[in-house]
Structure 1
Amino acid sequence: MTLRAVVKGVGHYLPERVVSNSEFEKTLDTTDEWIKSRSGIERRHFAAPGETTSNLGAAAARNALKHAGLDANDIDAIVVATSTADLTFPSCATMIQNELGNTKGFAFDVQAVCAGFAYALANANALIVSGQAERALVIGAETFSRIMDWTDRSTCVLFGDGAGALVLEAHDGNGTSDDRGILSTDLNSDGRYKDILYVDGGVSTQTTGVLKMQGKEVFRHAVEKLAQTAHTALDKVGLTADDVNWVVPHQANIRIIQSTAKKLGVGMDRVVVTVQDHGNTSAASIPLALSVGVETGQIKEGDVIVTEAIGGGLAWGSAVIRW
């Protein structure tokens, strides 16, 4: 028998404030049509003053626990993917653990920017298949509105705040691609490309910093590397694009999503797209999209799901899941 980390529940949370593209027309040389045509984004959510990343993550986690029919103390491990934690330390994960009332498990953060959820999922999967945890809560949560340069129209219109969460549970499988659960993961990074996507500040430089991005370079790397990592993850379990029911990509830009799907050989009718409503929520975007896909009835038990994401680092990765 083979241990598999099976998705037991999913949930998400979005801040109340919805910001349409037209709001940016008041302060920037931009238009709703310009933003939509280049990114596919129509609106995004921004956290309220005083509303933190851990607040968002805890709310998404509660919804995932409810969907799974579990209590907080049924969870052994909490893994949070974020680049916008409330404090330098302690971790956002331990703050969420406290907010949920979990007193029996352990919690830690993973920082791989927009690829963060792929990394967190791989870590949680490893904890379960190695027997260190029976149930894990995997959360992606971000407040990217706090690190925007509001004078830079090429970046500040792209990002939003939100959180998504998955509950994983150990189940016995047969070790084949017919098993439910996480079938494979693939992680990659290349630090040579730091300068195309980064925040120009941090603790050791005693500065806060804002997001900086070379959009054309990011696009070029994204399409190639996302298709590559998805193919690698599928190859690991002997599956092809024809076996995939849904691609649930990082929701950064509709053109990246479309180009990657084409390179993968998957039609857009098999891609879950939420970028128009949420913008780029970084590490939160995949779990958000998974939760929405379940909520809308797109994703069903037994479906083969491929997720893939790329972010600053560069860091990129993917997972194949049978729902």
Structure 2
Amino acid sequence: MQQLGLGIAITGSGSAVPPTALSNEQLSQIVETSDEWIASRTGIRERHVGSPELSLADLAAQAGEAALSMAALPAAEVDLIILATSTADDLFGSAALIQAKLGASRAVAFDLTAACSGFLFGLVTAAQFIRAGTYQNVLLIGADMLSRWTDWSDRRTCILFGDGAGAVLIQANERDCLLGFELRSDGTQNNCLNLAYQPQAKSVLEGVDLGQGNYQFITMNGQEVYRFAVRQVPEVIEKSLYRAKLTIDQIDWLLLHQANQRILDAVSQRLNVPPEKVISNLAHYGNTSAASIPLALDEEVRQGRVKPGDIIASSGFGAGLTWGAAIFRWGR
């Protein structure tokens, strides 16, 4: 296979959300809240939720198909599929099923879990495979269905999360469009945001005890996550800019994980990025975890706002705790 170079280009994008939207007004019929209360604290007006019949693999495949179509690449030419998700249909992984749904018969496929940072971790992982000359065409999908694991009686968390999928096609390129990145983890803060397994003791034989159970609803210390994000995200973006040999005024767009409008505002203000350069669509989708960055990117591309050659500073942050940033150029 002829190698085009040791760089990468992001050549296509796609996204998909369930058809059912759940508004703040509707949520106020479930828990004690209001549209004004939610919107003023989070910036969210509605979120999309998947039906019992909709699988994560279906949603992810839709986003993947759209990205391949934009790039005019047949699925049979995809070498690798990376699914960034924390809510796979199957605990053993859903990426291979997506490979089958797409007809990407020669592609290797695996899941990657880094919660809301998953898409950026996947982007950097994909770049290493391409830069090493191993693969040329990588389909990266970020998809989550957090409604499955939301406590709909907890107004602190049920107002935040939604379901969605976003995808990008990453291809080998003579000019490297991934200009710089920085990834971080801090397990000492793991308890701030969890979707935890809760074992129950089960005795199978005398003297042989084990734990069996299920995963519990999402729990979050919102104040700690906010403080973590507004402190760490500007720093990691600045480090990525340093690696890219760029300054913040040279970027065209700031694209953050869509968690909370207050976080987006605080980070952009600390970086001195004007509001017109900040991409935000969480009013319509809420926090879709690993899907949020590619979903927002795809909307901006299809609306013609993000154009080929534009430089984007992006950052993901969330459970783990994990966070990271990447500076990349859209297109070849």
TM category (shorter chain) comes to over 0.9
Q: CA deviation at 1:186?
A: 1.2
Residue in structure 1 matched with residue 161 of structure 2 by the alignment: 159
**Within 1, Cα distance between the matches of 2:71 and 2:81?**
15
Deviations, residues 55-76 of structure 1 (Å, cap 9, x unaligned): 1100000000111111111110
AA aligned to 1:124 is: A
8 Å contact kept, 1:73–1:104: yes
Alignment: residue pair count: 316
8 Å contact kept, 2:5–2:172: no
Report the 3-state secondary structure (helix = DSSP H, G, I; strand = E; otherwise coil) of the residue aligned with 1:49. coil
Whether 1:250 aligns to 2:257 is yes
Residue in structure 1 matched with residue 111 of structure 2 by the alignment: 109
Aligned counterpart in structure 2 of residue 311 of structure 1, from 302, 318, 332: 318
Residue in structure 1 matched with residue 216 of structure 2 by the alignment: 209
AA aligned to 1:187 is: L
**Within 1, Cα distance between the matches of 2:97 and 2:141?**
13
Aligned counterpart in structure 2 of residue 168 of structure 1, from 167, 170, 189: 170
- The alignment's TM-score, normalised by the length of structure 1, stands at 0.95
Report the 3-state secondary structure (helix = DSSP H, G, I; strand = E; otherwise coil) of the residue aligned with 1:54. helix
The percent identity for this pair of structures is 40
Q: Aligned ranges for residues 63-102 of structure 1 at < 5 Å?
A: 63-89=66-92, 91-102=93-104
Summarize the Cα distance change of 1:183–1:205 in structure 2 as closer, same or farther, 3 Å threshold. farther
Aligned counterpart in structure 1 of residue 45 of structure 2, from 42, 67, 71: 42
Residue in structure 1 matched with residue 194 of structure 2 by the alignment: 198
**Within 2, Cα distance between the matches of 1:74 and 1:251?**
32
Residue in structure 2 matched with residue 136 of structure 1 by the alignment: 138
- The alignment's TM-score, normalised by the length of structure 2, stands at 0.93
8 Å contact kept, 1:4–1:183: no
CA RMSD of the aligned region, Å?
A: 1.3
Report the 3-state secondary structure (helix = DSSP H, G, I; strand = E; otherwise coil) of the residue aligned with 1:26. coil
**Within 2, Cα distance between the matches of 1:295 and 1:282?**
21
What stretches of structure 1 of length at least 5 have no aligned partner? Answer: 174-178
Aligned counterpart in structure 2 of residue 24 of structure 1, from 23, 27, 40: 27
Q: CA deviation at 1:202?
A: 6.0
**Within 1, Cα distance between the matches of 2:7 and 2:76?**
21
AA aligned to 2:191 is: D
Q: Pick the structure with greater CA Rg.
A: 2
Residue in structure 2 matched with residue 176 of structure 1 by the alignment: none
Q: CA deviation at 1:205?
A: 5.2
Deviations, residues 197-244 of structure 1 (Å, cap 9, x unaligned): 011326875212110000000000011111111111110011010111
**Within 2, Cα distance between the matches of 1:286 and 1:23?**
26
Report the 3-state secondary structure (helix = DSSP H, G, I; strand = E; otherwise coil) of the residue aligned with 1:297. coil
Whether 1:280 aligns to 2:276 is no
